[in-house]
Structure 1
Amino acid sequence: MCSALGNLVELAIKPEQTSGVTLAELPLESIASDAFLADRACAANRLIDRLTERGIISAIPRKRNRTTRQETDFSFYRERNLIERFFNKIKQFRPIAIHYDKLKSTFLAVIQFALIIILLK
């Protein structure tokens, strides 16, 4: 998760068979925010329902195969490019982009090291 300025707020590595929706639901309780931006992969009803219960604005475009359509504020959704830029900064480090490490703990340590270098720049 990234803040509105594109800085890292929460970092988690998901297991291979876990969907992004279940991972996106975890830090919602600990982070106080006014809006939640995500791509179509997170367009699950349970996530959107939790966001509306907490009073958080969701800018998640619906999948095209949905029967019920909901309007998405695409001018607000364009701010998601900050997250994409953040991932591009991280992927400039070759061990992260190629994913050399086999252990989850080692890969997380490499990501944390890259984040320290990014923040020091």
Structure 2
Amino acid sequence: KALVADKGYDSWRLVDLIARTGGCANIPTRRHVKNKRVVPPELYRERNRIERFFCRLKQFRRAATRFDKLARNYMATLNLASLRIWLRHVESTP
């Protein structure tokens, strides 16, 4: 229903395509564009959290370079890496 992206995906063609399919584009406009779109800050913060998670996930070499040939093995690798990231987060919170 809602697509949240960064300024790199700011194009009216993409926004129109999302609107035609029944979604809502939450993409901030680049600074040189005259017609600015309003993006809820809470929604954009969530996008940032997800992007930071994927950056952490790429630190696991096996997941980033996709050594596994089978999809089920690759998903298992992603699950283990995600679990490790989550456990680090849980341990660091008081």
TM-score, length-normalised on structure 1? 0.52
Residue 77 of structure 2: aligned partner: 117
Q: Which runs of 5+ in 2 are unaligned?
A: 84-94
1:1-121 to 2 correspondences below 5 Å: 34-94=1-61, 96=64, 107=65, 109-110=66-67, 115-120=75-80, 121=83
Between the aligned partners of 2:59 and 2:75, the Cα distance in structure 1 is 11
Secondary structure at the counterpart of residue 67 of structure 2 = helix
Deviations 1:74-120 (A, max 9, x none): 22221103421331232122363xxxxxxxxxx5x438665431214
Q: State, as a whole percentage, how many aligned pairs show the same letter.
A: 32
Runs of 4+ deviating beyond 4 Å: 111-115
Change (3 A) 1:115 1:71: same
Between the aligned partners of 1:70 and 1:62, the Cα distance in structure 2 is 6
Q: Which has the larger radius of gyration?
A: 2
Q: 2:28·2:36 contact (CA, 8 Å) conserved in 1?
A: no
Between the aligned partners of 1:77 and 1:56, the Cα distance in structure 2 is 16
Q: 1:90·1:114 contact (CA, 8 Å) conserved in 2?
A: no
Between the aligned partners of 2:49 and 2:78, the Cα distance in structure 1 is 15
Q: 1:43·1:62 contact (CA, 8 Å) conserved in 2?
A: yes
TM-score, length-normalised on structure 2? 0.64
Between the aligned partners of 2:21 and 2:58, the Cα distance in structure 1 is 33
Q: 2:6·2:28 contact (CA, 8 Å) conserved in 1?
A: yes
Q: 1:90·1:115 contact (CA, 8 Å) conserved in 2?
A: no
* RMSD of aligned alpha carbons: 2.4
